């Protein structure tokens, strides 16, 4: 294995390989910086409850808030229907976060100059960037259209005010008079108990759960991200007190993209079940599990040599499964745990699956591979697998001050380029020869706190401080580990 690694470092394709890996990491981090959290003073205003009633610290839900959400944004009393509201009531909340942040990336290839002329060489250097900045802007609007019929619409922008619909859904709740049958339809967040859309951290790397978006290096299955909002329908049910809950969603394998550009007739299922337990003074603790099983297209038909949007076939499978735990240790300390085992088809691991991506590969690099009939896999191709765990403890000093910690680690257990992959063979995904066993292994920790100087039922405001450190094996230009750190402070507010 070491020999193989040395030969790759010396090989011509090494630079491209690491550039690709690094580019993917960068693209991933940039994409993942989009924050869309659901903290709604509009709901607080409607019901006259403080943020803290539903949020451990907004936007993260507590048990009461989860029950409210599971009931279709209803408290299950006579005040739920909009007829009870002032006719002028308009359930809209916006959220934006002015920030100052500093990003330090350990190893970036920097072109060298002599006398104002490029020397043609590049040297690995640490790159630091800092300054004042903005998050994107979210407009949350949600509530009941009628008793047991609710909606949620979330137009969301990036920091340049380019909008998309992050969430658009209608809900029918308590069908046939039972809380066990509720249906939602549209674009929505998958039923993750530890919701990434309600994450308490804001940095590019720490503002997401890496576990929810992980894909092995070179793997082009973007559909396996359980943190991505998806288009589909979900059947969900729960007991009256929400102690027991389940959900089953069927979504298009379109990564939440509209117009069915990125797939054709491929679907993914997402299933969850959990049970909460009364643990006396400790609180209500919950354990559960989830599974995502689906297929995604690998072959996009062409017309005149151009990929036809929505023509994907050649579906290949993938799955994710894991356990979720929400453990409360009294009124001040809790710990959220998520595990994941992931598996992608060898085809996806070899880079097929995302040929229709408009950017289609790294700029200047090889286009992402399509999988037309007759394509064969290198005999050394394996279905990549990995395991990961996420642990997020909180210390809730009071509803107005929360300290946050998180550690995530993801370890590859099988690489897509197996040991028998030809030592000099370049895979469709750009990786050459057998891949080191730790290639793409990711670890990250985040610490921070959020202080809310006031707590009312009208608005949310938090002074936010956070530090994140990210480590990805093999992602540096020279094939070694890439480290990146971020520091962020900001005013996180919504109204």
Partner 1 sequence: MRTRLQTWSLLVGATAVLALPMPSWAQLTQSDLASRMGMESHIGKITGHAKDAKADYRRYCVGCHGELGDGNGENFPWVDPKPRDFQLGIFKCRSTPTGTLPTDKDLFDTIARGLDRSNMPQWSTFTKQERADLVAWIKHFSPRWANEKPGTPIQIPPEPDVTAERIKAGRDVYARVQCWKCHGVLGQANGPSAATLTDDLGRPIAAFNFTEGAKPKCGDTDRDIYRIFMTGLDGTPMPSFADNIKPDEAWDLVFYLRTLMSQNSKEKTMAKQLGLKPVDPNAPAGQQ
Say if strands 306-313 and 316-328 run parallel, antiparallel, or are unpaired: unpaired
Residue 59, preceding peptide bond in cis (omega within 30° of 0): yes
In this structure, what is the dihedral angle of CA atoms 249, 408, 36, 331, given to the nearest 10 degrees?
A: 90
The angle formed by the CA atoms of residues 473, 293 and 270, to the nearest 5 degrees, is: 105
Rule CB under 8 A: is residue 146 a binding residue for partner 1? no
Instruction: Compute the distance between CA of residue 33 and CA of residue 486 in angstroms, rounded to an integer.
Output: 12
If one asks whether residue 284 binds partner 1 (CB under 8 A), the answer comes out as: yes
Q: What is the 3-state secondary structure (H, E, C) of 172-224?
A: ECCHHHCCCCEEEEEEECCCCCCCHHHCCCCCCCCCCCHHHCCCCCCCCCHHH
Q: Which element (helix H / strand E) includes 138?
A: strand 138-146
Pick one of 18, 67, 198, 316: the residue that binds partner 1 (CB under 8 A). Answer: 67
Quote the least distance from Cβ 6 to partner 1, whole Å.
58
CB nearer to partner 1: give 53 or 307. Answer: 53
Stretch that binds partner 1, among 75-83, 100-108, 304-312, 356-364 (CB under 8 A): 75-83
Q: Which two tokens stand for residue 245?
A: 């809950």
Note whether 457 binds partner 1 by CB under 8 A: yes
Residue where the block lists tokens 């337990």: 277
Does the footprint of partner 1 cover residue 241 (CB under 8 A)? yes
Residue number, 62 or 444, with CB nearest to partner 1 = 62
Of the candidate spans 212-220, 223-231, 235-243, 263-271, the one that interacts with partner 1 by CB under 8 A turns out to be 235-243
Cα dist. 214→345, 409, 442, 443, 486 in Å? 15, 11, 9, 11, 19
Total binding residues toward partner 1, as defined by CB under 8 A = 30
79 lies in the site for partner 1, by CB under 8 A: yes
Q: Does 283 bind partner 1 (CB under 8 A)?
A: yes
**CB of residue 70 vs partner 1: minimum separation in angstroms?**
11
**Alpha-carbon dihedral angle through residues 45, 46, 52, 56, given to the nearest 10 degrees:** -120
The verdict on 242 binding partner 1 (CB under 8 A) reads yes
Tell me the per-residue interface mask from 405 to 444 with partner 1, x by CB under 8 A, - otherwise.
----------------------------------------
Q: Does 73 bind partner 1 (CB under 8 A)?
A: no
88 binds partner 1 (CB under 8 A): no
Residue 54 and residue 201: Cα distance in Å, rounded?
18
Q: Which residue has the tokens 């229709």?
A: 356
Separation CA 417–CA 419 (nearest Å): 7
Per CB under 8 A, the list member of 11, 19, 47, 134 interacting with partner 1 is 47
- Can residue 459 be called a binding residue for partner 1 (CB under 8 A)? no
167 within 8 A of 186, measured Cβ to Cβ: yes
Question: Which among 225-233, 273-281, 380-388, 433-441 is the span making contact with partner 1, rule CB under 8 A?
Answer: 273-281
- Does 7 bind partner 1 (CB under 8 A)? Our answer is no
β-pair partners for 252:
267
Q: Please report whether residue 49 would count as binding partner 1 according to CB under 8 A.
A: yes
Per CB under 8 A, 278 contacts partner 1: yes
Which positions from 301 to 340 touch partner 1 by CB under 8 A, shown as an x/- string?
------------------------------xx--------
Token pair belonging to 296? 């995604």
Tokens for 283? 């609180």
If the CB atoms of residues 460 and 479 are measured against partner 1, the closer one turns out to be: 460
The stretch near partner 1 (CB under 8 A) out of 87-95, 130-138, 150-158, 280-288 is 280-288
Strand partners, 493: 96, 461
Q: For binding to partner 1 (CB under 8 A), which residues are involved?
A: 47-50, 52-53, 63-64, 67, 75-79, 240-242, 278-284, 331-332, 398-399, 456-457
């Amino acid at each position: 294995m070491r020999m193989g690694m040395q030969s790759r470092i010396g090989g011509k394709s090494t630079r491209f390989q690491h550039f690709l890996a690094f580019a993917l990491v960068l693209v991933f981090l940039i994409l993942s910086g989009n924050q869309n959290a659901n903290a709604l003073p509009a709901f607080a205003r409607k019901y006259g409850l403080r943020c803290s009633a539903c949020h451990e610290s907004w936007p993260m839900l507590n048990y009461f808030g989860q029950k409210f959400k599971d009931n279709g944004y209803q408290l299950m009393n006579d005040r739920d229907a909009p007829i009870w509201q002032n006719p002028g009531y308009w359930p809209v909340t916006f959220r934006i976060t002015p920030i100052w942040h500093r990003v330090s990336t350990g190893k970036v290839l920097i072109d060298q100059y002599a006398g104002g002329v490029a020397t043609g060489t590049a040297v690995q250097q640490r790159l630091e960037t800092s300054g004042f900045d903005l998050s994107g802007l979210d407009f949350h609007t949600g509530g009941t259209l009628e008793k047991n019929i609710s909606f949620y619409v979330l137009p969301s922008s990036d920091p340049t005010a380019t909008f998309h619909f992050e969430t658009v859904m209608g809900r029918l709740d308590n069908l046939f008079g039972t809380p066990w049958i509720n249906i939602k339809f549209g674009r929505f967040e998958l039923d993750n108990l530890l919701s990434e859309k309600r994450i308490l951290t804001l940095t590019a790397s720490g503002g997401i759960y890496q576990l929810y978006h992980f894909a092995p290096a070179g793997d082009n299955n973007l559909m396996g991200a359980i943190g991505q909002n998806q288009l589909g329908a979900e059947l969900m049910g729960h007991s009256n007190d929400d102690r027991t809950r389940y959900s089953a969603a069927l979504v298009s394998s379109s990564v939440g993209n509209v117009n069915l550009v990125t797939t054709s007739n491929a679907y993914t299922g997402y299933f969850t079940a959990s049970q909460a337990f009364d643990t006396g003074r400790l609180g209500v603790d919950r354990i559960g599990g989830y599974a995502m099983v689906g297929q995604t297209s690998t072959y996009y038909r062409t017309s005149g040599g151009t990929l036809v949007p929505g023509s994907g076939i050649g579906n290949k499978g993938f799955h994710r499964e894991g356990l979720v735990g929400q453990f409360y240790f009294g009124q001040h300390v809790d710990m959220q745990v998520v595990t994941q085992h992931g598996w992608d088809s060898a085809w996806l691991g070899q880079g097929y699956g995302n040929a229709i991506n408009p950017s289609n590969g790294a700029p200047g690099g090889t286009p992402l591979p399509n999988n037309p009939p007759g394509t064969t896999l290198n005999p050394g191709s394996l279905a990549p697998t990995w395991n990961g765990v996420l642990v997020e403890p909180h210390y809730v000093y009071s509803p107005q001050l929360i300290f946050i910690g998180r550690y995530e680690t993801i370890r590859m257990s099988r690489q897509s380029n197996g040991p028998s992959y030809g030592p000099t063979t370049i895979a469709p995904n750009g990786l050459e020869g057998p891949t080191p066993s730790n290639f793409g292994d990711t670890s990250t920790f985040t610490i921070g706190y959020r202080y809310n100087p006031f707590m009312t039922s009208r608005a949310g405001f938090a002074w936010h401080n956070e530090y994140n450190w990210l480590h990805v094996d093999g992602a540096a230009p020279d094939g070694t580990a890439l480290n990146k750190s971020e520091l962020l402070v900001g005013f996180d507010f919504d109204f």
